[in-house]
Amino acid sequence: MKLIENFLNLLLSIHKQSFSKEGGKGSTEKIAPVNSVAWDKRPAIVLVVVAFCVLLLHYLKFNTAFYATLNLWFDQFSDNPAAKVLELRRQTFFPLVTQAWWAIWHLVAFVLIPVVTIKYLLKEPLTNYGLGVGRLRRDIKWYVLLAAPILSFVVIVSFRDDFTNHYPFYKLAHRSWFDLVAWEILYLLQFVCVEFFFRGFIIQACRPTFGVNAIFVMIVPYMMIHLSKPWLEASGAIFFGLFLGVLALHTRSIWGGVAVHVSIALSMDIAALLQTKGLPQQLLP
Percent of the chain with pLDDT over 70: 89
The per-residue DSSP string of 104-145 comes to HHHHIIIIIHHHHIIIIIS---GGGGT-S-TTHHHHHHHHHH
- Nearest CA to 191 among 269, 137, 128? 269
Region 131-157: mean pLDDT is 89
Residue 107's pLDDT is what?
98
**Calpha distance 272→267 (Å, rounded):** 8
**Calpha distance 45→59 (Å, rounded):** 22
Q: Is the pLDDT of residue 256 over 90?
A: yes
The per-residue DSSP string of 7-70 comes to HHHHHHHHHHHTTS-SS-TT-------GGG-SPPSHHHHHHHHHHHHHHHHHHHSSHHHHHHHH
18-75 pLDDT tens trace: 555 554 454 454 555 545 556 788 889 999 999 999 999 999 999 999 999 998 898 8
Side chain identity at 174, as an amino acid letter? H
150-207 pLDDT tens trace: 898 888 888 888 888 888 999 999 999 999 999 999 999 999 999 999 999 999 999 9
Residue 36's pLDDT is what?
53
Residue 17's pLDDT is what?
61
**Calpha distance 72→20 (Å, rounded):** 54
What is the average pLDDT value for the chain, to the nearest integer?
88
**Calpha distance 189→176 (Å, rounded):** 20
Region 115-120: mean pLDDT is 96
Residue 27's pLDDT is what?
47
Residue 82's pLDDT is what?
84
Question: Which has the higher per-residue pLDDT, 20 or 138?
Answer: 138
pLDDT-derived band at 234, boundaries 50, 70, 90: confident
Question: Which has the higher per-residue pLDDT, 26 or 102?
Answer: 102
Asked if the peptide bond before residue 168 counts as cis, ω within 30 degrees of 0, the response is yes
- Exposure pattern of 237-254 as b/e (b: 16+ CB <10 Å)? beebbbbbbebbbbbbbb
Domain residue ranges of the chain, discontinuous segments joined by +: 40-125+133-275
Q: Report helix, strand or coil for 280.
A: coil
CB 76 within 8 A of CB 162: no
Question: Which has the higher per-residue pLDDT, 222 or 86?
Answer: 222
Q: Is the pLDDT of residue 134 over 60?
A: yes
**Calpha distance 54→162 (Å, rounded):** 28
- Residue 159 backbone phi and psi in degrees, to 5: -85, -5
